[in-house]
């Protein structure tokens, strides 16, 4: 046997560990009352409209769960250009009672389509400067596929159905209200 083969087989023996440590009474590995509470954790939906700067950390922390191995985020920010014009900020308005109800419906649809735990949807209203977030969607799930698909569905459906309007403010002192091309109530030009 060559020294390389010897090292490989020795390496293989050294790294063989049990898949999980044996449970020893009083070791702290058994399911305790607090762990049971985590198993029974209720699903949350947090919907927030605010004129304040949005916090990515706050949104992600609200959906973290010990039952979940994935937190997926979508963060929509103000870009500095649109069709060759320099954008300095966006201004958002919403019909809040209807907007909140539509987002609740989106959350309900998500729960019917994917096994997710918590959902947070934050949308900023008023002026949103370049590079700041206008929307944050956070979803937690046991595995990444569900939360990634849910986040994608949430932003696409929100843009199509939720009554939120955006006005682009341009450097040359002009502005323009924009419709979401996804909105079902608009017609093609």
Helix (H, G, I), strand (E, B) or coil at 182: coil
Find out whether 117 is annotated in a ligand binding site: no
CA–CA gap between residue 182 and residue 99 (Å, rounded):
16
Find out whether 159 is annotated in a ligand binding site: yes
Find out whether 86 is annotated in a ligand binding site: no
- DSSP E strand boundaries for 130-174: 133-141, 164-170
Helix (H, G, I), strand (E, B) or coil at 25: coil
Find out whether 168 is annotated in a ligand binding site: yes
CB atoms within 10 A of CB 151: 22
Find out whether 16 is annotated in a ligand binding site: no
Is the Cβ–Cβ distance between 130 and 85 less than 8 Å?
no
Determine whether 158 is exposed, middle or buried from the number of CB atoms within 10 Å of its CB (0-12, 13-18, 19+).
buried
Find out whether 167 is annotated in a ligand binding site: yes
CA–CA gap between residue 124 and residue 159 (Å, rounded):
14
Going by the annotation, the residues of the binding site for substrate are 143-144, 159, 166-168
Going by the annotation, the residues of the binding site are 143-144, 159, 166-168
């Amino acid at each position: 046997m060559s020294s390389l083969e010897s090292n490989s087989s020795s390496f293989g023996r050294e790294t063989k560990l049990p898949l999980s440590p044996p449970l020893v009474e009083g070791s702290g590995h058994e399911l305790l009352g607090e762990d049971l509470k985590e198993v029974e954790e209720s699903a949350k939906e947090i919907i927030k409209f605010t004129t304040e700067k949005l916090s990515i950390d706050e949104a992600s922390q609200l959906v973290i769960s010990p039952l979940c191995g994935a937190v997926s985020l979508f963060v929509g920010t103000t870009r500095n250009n649109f069709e060759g014009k320099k954008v300095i900020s966006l201004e958002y308005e919403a019909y809040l009672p209807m907007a909140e109800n539509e987002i609740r419906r989106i959350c309900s649809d998500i729960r019917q389509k994917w096994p997710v735990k918590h959902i947070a949807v934050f949308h900023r209203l008023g002026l949103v400067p370049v590079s700041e977030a206008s929307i944050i969607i956070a979803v937690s799930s046991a595995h990444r596929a569900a939360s990634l698909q849910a986040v994608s569905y949430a932003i696409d459906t929100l843009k199509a159905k939720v009554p939120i309007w955006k006005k682009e403010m341009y450097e040359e002192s002009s502005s323009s209200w924009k419709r979401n091309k996804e909105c079902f109530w608009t017609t093609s030009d």
